[in-house]
């Protein structure tokens, strides 16, 4: 009996370890056959689980598709295989650095990611110490690139996005009071709420700002608070997981209030949650489906053809803007490698500021901080009858 119980404990312990590793490493080791001398590794630092798992997977899809389209890069007449090293940072600021370390030890030339600014900031120092450049795909918080030389990004920033949303709330809904909700300790939503608040108060409105703690799934009281505050818009730039719960609760309480959010909400998780419900959702984003027909068609066929990809995209072929951004990020990285003339991280880092690339989401060039020069955001509205996004306007800031 004693032996049996010991065995059982051992089995339990080992199965916990085995499960823990299983989720993250299966994709990364896939393409070892290509390993030879002429290989350049690109690290993909994205969440595949946790709060931002859904978005991270969609962003990774764009990168994988780009890699499939263009799996080699030519430097000085020699053809190099480009190999993706994909790790899961679990959307977590304490697990992210370990995943980043993993990429460093695999010897990648450049890192793409992450979806979610908090994880990017948490892992930034690890890439800096290893001298590896990082290219943010959709992390919009200013702190990601601020005060360092190695982090770049191809998306717009939260001060810009917050201002766009504040203007949109003022112009379209004639809003005087806004209710803003962020997740406690989440750099992205807290940051974006603050920029929204500054801009909206600058326009003469008032903002009621509240936060919810990690692990919370009961949004009843937050929705009731927004109604009690007599707000004209509900601003909730939170993760898609929380968003689905907020949408559900807003519909249950019959909250007759437009809901505004940032780029994270541009996902089929949201349209799925809002389908058939009485909610009015508007988001700002990087790319509008239909912006580049050839790309849309290609990637949809590619996603459709593989059941894993289809599951990673949430079960249908609706394109998220982050997927298009992931696609552009890969080619921007390739441009930088070509310009550097080698896969040496230091050379790639030196080359990045001079990269110019015309992607499906627009022209990508970098300013002196390492941010992309972007001046427009797309506003989309959710059609809740059919569960699809509809294009509303292209909005910039004067």
Q: Which residues here bind other proteins, judged by CB under 8 A?
A: 1, 4-5, 8-9, 12-13, 15-16, 19-20, 22-23, 48-50, 53-54, 57, 88, 90, 184, 210-213, 215-222, 224-225, 227-228, 240-241, 244-245, 248-249, 251-254, 269, 272-273, 311-312, 314
Q: How far apart are CA 300 and CA 296, in angstroms?
A: 6
User: Which CB sits closer to other proteins, 206 or 221?
Assistant: 221
Beta-strand pair 177-183/233-235: parallel
Cis check: omega of the bond before 269, within 30 degrees of 0: no
Comparing C-alpha atoms, which of 44, 68, 57, 27 is closest to residue 267? 57
Taking the least distance from each CB to other proteins, the nearer of 22 and 290 is: 22
DSSP 361: T
The sheet with strand 258-261 has its strands ordered as 206-212, 177-183, 233-235, 258-261, 280-285, 377-383, 388-395
Quick one: how far is CA 224 from the chain centroid? 29
Q: Which is nearer to other proteins, 339 or 388 (CB)?
A: 388
Closest CB 279 distance from other proteins, rounded Å? 13
Q: State which residue, 88 or 158, has the beta carbon closest to other proteins.
A: 88
Q: How far is the CB of 146 from other proteins (least distance, A)?
A: 26
CB of 239 to other proteins, least distance (A): 9
From the CB of 221, what's the least distance to other proteins, in Å? 4
Residue among 142, 120, 124 nearest 367 (CA): 142
Tell me how far, at minimum, the Cβ of 213 lies from other proteins, in Å.
4
Least separation in angstroms between CB 317 and other proteins: 17
231/360 with CB nearer other proteins: 231
Residue 38: CB minimum distance to other proteins, A = 33
Buried b (16+ CB within 10 A) or exposed e, 17-33: eeeeeeebeebbeeeee
Q: Give 131 or 276: the residue with its C-beta nearer to other proteins.
A: 276
Count of other CB atoms within 10 angstroms of residue 131: 13
d(CA 190, CA 238): 9
Given the complex with other proteins, which of 192 and 334 has the nearer CB atom?
Answer: 192
Q: How far apart are CA 143 and CA 136, in angstroms?
A: 12
For the bound state, the minimum distance from the C-beta of residue 178 to other proteins, rounded and expressed in Å, comes to 15
Using CA atoms, how far residue 369 sits from 77, 151, 153, in Å, is 33, 9, 10
Q: Which is nearer to other proteins, 248 or 344 (CB)?
A: 248
CB of 58 to other proteins, least distance (A): 11
Spatial separation of the C-alpha atoms in residues 135 and 152, rounded to whole Å: 5
Nearer to other proteins, 40 or 226 (CB): 226
For tokens 């948490």, name the residue. Answer: 122
């Amino acid at each position: 009996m004693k032996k049996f119980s010991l065995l059982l404990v051992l089995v339990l312990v080992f199965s916990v370890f085995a499960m823990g590793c299983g989720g993250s490493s299966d994709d990364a080791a896939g393409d070892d056959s290509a390993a030879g001398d002429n290989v350049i590794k690109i690290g993909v630092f994205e969440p595949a689980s946790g709060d931002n798992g859904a978005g991270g997977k969609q962003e990774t899809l764009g990168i994988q598709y780009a890699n499939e389209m263009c799996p080699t890069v030519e430097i000085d007449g020699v053809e190099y295989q480009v190999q993706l090293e994909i790790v899961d940072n679990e959307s977590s600021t304490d697990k992210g650095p370990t995943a980043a370390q993993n990429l460093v030890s695999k010897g990648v030339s450049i890192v793409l990611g992450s979806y979610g600014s908090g994880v990017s900031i948490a892992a930034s120092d690890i890439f800096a110490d290893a001298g590896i450049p990082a290219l943010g795909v959709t992390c919009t918080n200013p702190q990601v690139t601020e005060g360092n030389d190695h982090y770049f990004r191809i998306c717009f920033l939260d001060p810009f996005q917050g201002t766009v949303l504040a203007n949109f709330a003022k112009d379209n809904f004639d809003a005087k009071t806004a209710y803003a909700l962020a997740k406690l300790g989440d750099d992205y939503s807290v940051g974006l709420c603050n920029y929204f608040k500054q801009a909206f108060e600058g326009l003469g409105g008032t903002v009621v700002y509240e936060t919810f703690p990690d692990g919370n799934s009961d949004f009843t009281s937050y929705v009731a608070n927004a109604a009690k505050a007599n707000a004209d818009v509900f601003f909730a730039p939170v993760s898609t997981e929380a968003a689905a719960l907020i949408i559900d609760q807003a519909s249950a309480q019959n909250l007759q209030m437009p809901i505004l959010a940032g780029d994270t909400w541009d996902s089929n998780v949201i349209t799925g949650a809002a389908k058939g419900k009485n909610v009015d959702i508007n988001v700002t984003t990087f790319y509008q489906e239909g912006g580049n027909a050839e790309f849309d068609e290609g990637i949809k066929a590619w996603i459709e053809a593989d059941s894993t990809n289809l599951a990673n995209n949430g079960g249908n072929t609706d394109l998220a803007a982050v997927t298009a951004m992931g696609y552009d990020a890969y080619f921007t990285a390739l441009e930088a490698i070509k310009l550097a003339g080698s896969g040496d991280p230091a050379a790639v880092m030196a080359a990045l500021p001079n990269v110019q690339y015309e992607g499906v989401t627009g022209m990508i060039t970098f300013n002196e901080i390492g941010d992309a020069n972007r001046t427009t955001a797309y506003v989309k509205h959710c059609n809740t009858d059919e569960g699809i996004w509809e294009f509303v306007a292209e909005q910039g800031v004067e």
